[in-house]
């Protein structure tokens, strides 16, 4: 994106109190947690903004802010990642505290809530909105998005940049003309009832959701509504015609808290990068699925991503977050690398074998410039963003990290995998990356090579076919 993503909305401080259950309480059938520790992260609009910033985007967050202890803790989490425009507010910082054990939430305790200074919020937001390449309104039903002045500013911005509105049942309806509204299935039902959108009692759940979404496109006068459906993906409606259903990648377990924020922030940055709506929704579905698969909110690590996947162009997970989640469970991180230009059966065989060596697989992918230096000006045939996307669609690949150097050594030092798998005829020889792996106790291994499969041979075969007299391509080009 040329300009920043501007996120406007209600910010919260999320705290997980995590402990080890060793016995039951003697006076109630509840576990007693020992060795408790606090894990802090941004919540609400702040979570959506922080995740976009962790993807490598320039992000401005305009949020009501209470200058109390929790408010200062929230700012300390955010300021290393993004630009914050704090609007002074009364009350107390909203805190969402989860008590968790063995990966499960036992109870949630909510406290605080600011008295939003709506007039000042509008005036503070104006300079940031003017320079935005995309806008995300993250409504958590606490008053920030109800300000008439702010709504007018967002409405004005609709004609200049894509605007995504993530609604809340207790919040305000989106301003007219926004590019995309992102309710979940429960929210779309609540809003449809509020707007008196009628639906036949009979019919499948999908048919009902389609009718409700189409009705809200008209009620809200928005360009499109996408209903997030959890593990079933998302349904995109333009108000008429058949909806677009984008399936999600299969995931098991994971903490779904924050998945909606992940979806909304990914959709906003994708639209701001020039993608059409359907493509942006595909990116957002993949990002939300990868977020849950990597451990979700409980596994978040607030540090810049080591991946160089172009902003908005890569649909998958942050390699750093995937690695942190796997290591938190005591798992093994496997990695492999290459150009993967024209993905073929040999690549897939190698990737599956590499994935079997660990609990996740990170693919280190040569950038376009790196491939040109290695293979000449005619390569790559497929640009890096598309190669990364194809790789991420494979179930054996957990994340992709693009590197610009001729070798992956710098990227390996950042990722520090436990296993580095190399495909090809290296048996009995010292792999170039072996010394780097040994520096932190990792191991480089060789995988069996599938004979007769290579991108170069595919290119040569295609060129010969093109040059054959009477071939379809030859006759079309003559």
Question: Would you please indicate which residues are annotated as catalytic (active-site) residues?
Answer: 261
Beta bridge partners of 107: 99
For residue 153, how far is the Cα from the chain centroid?
27
H or E segment to which residue 459 belongs: helix 455-467
| CB neighbour list of residue 52: distance below 8 Å, 6 or more residues apart | 5, 7, 59, 82, 136, 265, 266, 268, 269
Phi (first) and psi of residue 260, to 5 degrees: -65, -40
Give me 298's structure tokens: 């409980």
| CB neighbour list of residue 276: distance below 8 Å, 6 or more residues apart | none
Do 83 and 61 meet the contact criterion of CB atoms below 8 Å apart?
yes
Q: Under DSSP, is residue 55 helix (H, G, I), strand (E, B) or coil? A: coil
CA dihedral over 289, 292, 293, 299, signed as positive or negative: positive
How many CB atoms are located within 10 Å of the residue 24 CB?
A: 11
Give me 103's structure tokens: 């990966």
CA dihedral over 42, 85, 180, 391, signed as positive or negative: negative
Establish whether the linkage from the previous residue to 399 is cis, with ω within 30° of 0.
no
DSSP H helix total and E strand total for the chain: 16, 18
| CB neighbour list of residue 79: distance below 8 Å, 6 or more residues apart | none
CA atoms within 13 A on the CB side of 304: 14
Do 262 and 283 meet the contact criterion of CB atoms below 8 Å apart?
no
């Amino acid at each position: 994106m040329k300009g920043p993503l501007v996120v406007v909305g209600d910010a919260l401080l999320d705290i997980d109190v995590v402990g080890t259950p060793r016995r039951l309480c003697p006076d109630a059938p509840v576990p007693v947690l020992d060795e408790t520790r606090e894990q802090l992260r941004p919540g609400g609009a702040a979570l959506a903004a922080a995740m976009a910033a962790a993807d490598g985007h320039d992000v401005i967050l305009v949020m009501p802010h209470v200058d109390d202890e929790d408010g200062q803790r929230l700012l300390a989490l955010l300021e290393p990642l993004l630009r914050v425009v704090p609007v002074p507010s009364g009350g107390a910082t909203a805190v969402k505290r989860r008590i968790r054990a063995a990966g499960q939430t036992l109870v949630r305790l909510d406290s605080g809530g600011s008295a939003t200074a709506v007039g000042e919020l509008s005036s503070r937001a104006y300079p940031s909105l003017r320079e935005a390449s995309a806008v995300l309104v993250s409504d958590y039903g606490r008053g920030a998005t109800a300000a008439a002045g702010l709504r007018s500013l967002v409405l004005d911005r609709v004609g200049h940049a894509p605007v995504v509105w993530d609604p809340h049942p207790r919040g305000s309806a989106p301003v007219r003309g926004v590019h995309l509204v992102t309710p979940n299935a429960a929210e779309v039902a609540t809003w449809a009832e509020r707007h008196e959108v009628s639906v036949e009692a009979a019919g499948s759940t999908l048919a009902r959701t389609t009718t409700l979404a189409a009705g809200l496109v008209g009620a809200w006068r928005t360009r499109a509504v996408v209903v997030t459906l959890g593990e079933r993906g998302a349904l995109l409606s333009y108000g008429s015609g058949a909806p677009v259903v984008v399936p999600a990648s299969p995931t098991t377990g994971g903490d779904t808290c924050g998945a909606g924020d992940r979806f909304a922030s990914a959709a906003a940055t994708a639209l701001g990068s020039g993608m059409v709506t359907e493509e942006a929704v595909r990116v957002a579905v993949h990002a939300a699925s990868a977020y849950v698969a990597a451990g979700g909110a409980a596994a978040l690590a607030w540090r810049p991503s080591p991946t160089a996947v172009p902003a908005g162009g890569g649909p998958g997970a942050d390699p750093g977050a995937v690695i942190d989640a796997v290591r938190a469970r005591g798992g093994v991180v496997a990695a492999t690398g290459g150009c993967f230009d024209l993905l073929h059966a040999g690549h897939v065989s190698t990737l599956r074998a590499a994935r079997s060596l660990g609990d996740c697989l990170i693919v280190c992918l040569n950038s376009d410039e790196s491939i040109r230096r290695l293979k000449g000006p005619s390569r790559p045939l497929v640009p890096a963003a598309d190669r990364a996307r194809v790789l991420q669609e494979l179930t054996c690949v957990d994340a992709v990290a693009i590197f610009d150097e001729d070798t992956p050594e710098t990227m390996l030092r950042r990722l520090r995998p436990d296993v580095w798998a190399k495909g090809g005829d290296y048996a009995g020889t010292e792999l170039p990356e072996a010394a780097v792996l040994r520096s932190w106790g990792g191991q480089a291994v060789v995988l069996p090579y599938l004979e007769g499969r290579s991108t170069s041979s595919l290119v040569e075969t295609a060129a010969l076919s093109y040059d054959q007299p009477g071939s379809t391509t030859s006759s079309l080009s003559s």
